[in-house]
């Protein structure tokens, strides 16, 4: 009750302080004021939801929705643009964490099985969602009014983002339960490897979708060269950044969290100038540190020290960017995406596990560990929104985030059930 009263008081106080700001000359001051409001109230809202056994990230999103354009409009569209840099910074940290959790030596003993399950999930979910949307497009709001080419382009993007599973959710639940064991290791390895694969191939997917969504786009050498340059340039830059992080953590050592924050700022600032991707550069940097040095644990520990405000900002902004009218219009589409993604995840995971000759628990219920979606999925939605400015990008991101919120609500609960069922939790339930 106290937390709810504090949230209410802060919102009323913000109303009063906004009224005191000079009209039309206060964008920077207003941005700072609202940023403070979001950080404090989103954190308190997450604590309130935790009592209901709901994920903290959901609390951040819901508070962002409440103060965004669809709610109180504290975080207006202009302010969201003003603070966009912070969203990119948080995305870089999320990707660094995902890369830092991927250790090849840990998964090589069961690499064949991991690859089999991964390919089973990727192929089944992508193909299944793609053909499902093409088949049902004439009956689904939002899609039925589009031309055939645009339906196909949207279906490609929806199918691709449906592939993602959140490393942040996976790691968070494993940490909460202090889980250890066969199922835990398998789900974590596949989740990280899936994120890496998706981030690498996503520029190709966007280029494919552009053929149908952007008039005048055609397959040519320049298109492939641009995509290849973006992918390999991001990888090389990520390797360079990873090497610099290793040297700093090994020889300088002081103020490591501050250095990593500065490194993420450099990534965010330089990647657009060099036509590279923030996600891919950051995730490769994390992989390099984890697999080519003994500083992987130090990387994760120092990111965690400064990551909470950035996570609040990222998911709070994601909630603020929701377009309620688009969600209402595409509610049926969102439900279809969530339900059938669950079905295709089960089928793909089962087939991959059968081919690999896996244990019964891996074949039948380990798919419960892949439902959660958060940072990577929202990050991909942000890339799409920037690539397709206007109604196309904003509508897509809104529907994607609506799906993410549902998956984020049930994903952690299902994964926790899986680990408890597998008896790999080391704390009392």
CB atoms within 10 A of CB 335: 13
Whole-number pLDDT of residue 53: 63
Exposed (0-12), middle (13-18) or buried (19+): which is 22, by Cβ within 10 Å? exposed
3-state secondary structure of 292: coil
Q: What is the band of 80 on the pLDDT scale with cuts at 50, 70, 90?
A: confident
Choice between 209 and 408, residue whose per-residue pLDDT is larger? 209
Could you report the per-residue pLDDT of 106-147, keeping only the tens digit for each? 788 888 889 999 999 999 999 999 999 899 888 876 677 778
Whole-number pLDDT of residue 82: 72
Q: How far is CA 182 from CA 10, 26, 162, 359, 422, in A?
A: 46, 55, 26, 10, 9
Could you report the per-residue pLDDT of 369-400, keeping only the tens digit for each? 998 776 666 666 776 777 666 666 777 777 77
Q: How far apart are CA 267 and CA 344, in angstroms?
A: 35
Choice between 91 and 129, residue whose per-residue pLDDT is larger? 129
Q: How far apart are CA 115 and CA 121, in angstroms?
A: 10
**pTM of the entire predicted model:** 0.76
Alpha helices in 21-55 (DSSP H): 27-50
Whole-number pLDDT of residue 351: 95
CB atoms within 10 A of CB 338: 20
Q: How far apart are CA 131 and CA 156, in angstroms?
A: 9
Q: How far apart are CA 201 and CA 219, in angstroms?
A: 17
On average, the pLDDT of the chain sits at 80
Whole-number pLDDT of residue 219: 64
Using an 8 Å Cβ cutoff, are 55 and 63 in contact?
no
Output phi, psi for 244, to 5 deg: -65, -40
Choice between 16 and 199, residue whose per-residue pLDDT is larger? 199
Whole-number pLDDT of residue 242: 94
**Among 166-170, 197-201, 387-391, where is mean pLDDT lowest?**
387-391
Q: What single string gives the DSSP state of each residue in 350-418?
A: HHHHHHTT--HHHHHTGGGGG----HHHHHHHHHHHHHSTTHHHHHHHHHHHHHHHHHHHHHHHHHHHH
3-state secondary structure of 281: helix
CATH (residue range 93-421): 1.20.1530.20
Q: What is the band of 151 on the pLDDT scale with cuts at 50, 70, 90?
A: confident
pLDDT at 352 over 90: yes
Token look-up 């990387």 returns: 299
Percent of the chain with pLDDT over 90: 18
Q: Which of these, 139, 187, 167, lies nearest to 335 by C-alpha position?
A: 139
Using an 8 Å Cβ cutoff, are 316 and 60 in contact?
yes
Could you report the per-residue pLDDT of 6-35, keeping only the tens digit for each? 666 666 766 666 555 555 555 555 666 666
CB atoms within 10 A of CB 221: 7
Mean pLDDT of 284-309: 84
Q: What is the band of 4 on the pLDDT scale with cuts at 50, 70, 90?
A: low
Exposed (0-12), middle (13-18) or buried (19+): which is 332, by Cβ within 10 Å? middle
Using an 8 Å Cβ cutoff, are 184 and 365 in contact?
no
């Amino acid at each position: 009750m106290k937390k709810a009263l504090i949230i209410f008081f802060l919102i009323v106080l913000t109303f009063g302080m906004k009224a005191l700001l000079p009209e039309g000359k206060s964008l920077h001051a207003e941005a700072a004021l609202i940023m403070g409001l979001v950080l404090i109230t989103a954190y308190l809202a997450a604590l309130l939801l935790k009592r209901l056994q709901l994920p903290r990230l959901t609390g951040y999103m819901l508070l962002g929705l409440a103060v965004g354009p669809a709610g109180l409009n504290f975080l207006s569209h202009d302010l969201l643009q003003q603070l966009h840099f912070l969203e990119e910074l948080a995305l870089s940290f999320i990707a660094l964490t995902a890369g830092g959790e991927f250790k090849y030596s840990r998964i090589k003993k069961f690499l064949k099985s991991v690859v089999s399950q991964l390919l089973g999930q990727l192929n089944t979910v992508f193909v299944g969602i793609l053909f499902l949307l093409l088949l049902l497009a004439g009956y689904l709001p939002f899609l039925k009014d589009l031309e055939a080419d645009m339906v196909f382009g949207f279906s490609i993007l929806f199918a691709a983002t449906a592939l993602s599973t959140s490393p942040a959710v996976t790691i968070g639940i494993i940490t909460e339960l202090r889980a250890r064991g066969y199922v835990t290791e398998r789900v974590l390895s596949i989740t990280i490897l899936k994120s890496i694969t998706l981030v690498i191939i996503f520029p190709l997917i966007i280029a494919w979708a552009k053929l149908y969504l952007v008039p005048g786009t055609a397959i040519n050498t320049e298109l492939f060269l641009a995509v290849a340059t973006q992918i390999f340039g991001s990888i090389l830059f990520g390797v360079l950044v990873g090497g610099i992080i290793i040297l700093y953590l090994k020889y300088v050592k002081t103020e490591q969290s501050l250095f990593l924050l500065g490194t993420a700022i450099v990534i965010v600032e330089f990647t657009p100038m060099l036509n590279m991707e923030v996600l891919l550069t950051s995730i490769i940097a994390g992989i390099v540190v984890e697999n080519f040095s003994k500083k992987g644990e130090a990387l994760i520990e120092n990111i965690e020290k400064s990551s909470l405000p950035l996570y609040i900002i990222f998911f709070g902004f994601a909630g603020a960017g929701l377009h309620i009218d688009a969600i209402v219009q595409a509610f049926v589409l969102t439900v279809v995406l969530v339900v059938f993604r669950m079905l295709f995840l089960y089928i793909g995971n089962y087939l991959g596990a059968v081919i690999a000759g896996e244990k019964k628990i891996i074949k039948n219920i380990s798919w419960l560990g892949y439902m959660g979606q958060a940072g990577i999925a929202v990050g991909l939605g942000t890339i799409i929104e920037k690539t397709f400015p206007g109604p196309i990008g904003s509508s897509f991101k809104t529907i994607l985030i609506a799906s993410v919120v549902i998956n984020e609500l049930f994903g952690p609960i299902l994964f926790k059930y899986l680990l408890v069922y597998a008896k790999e939790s080391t704390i009392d339930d």
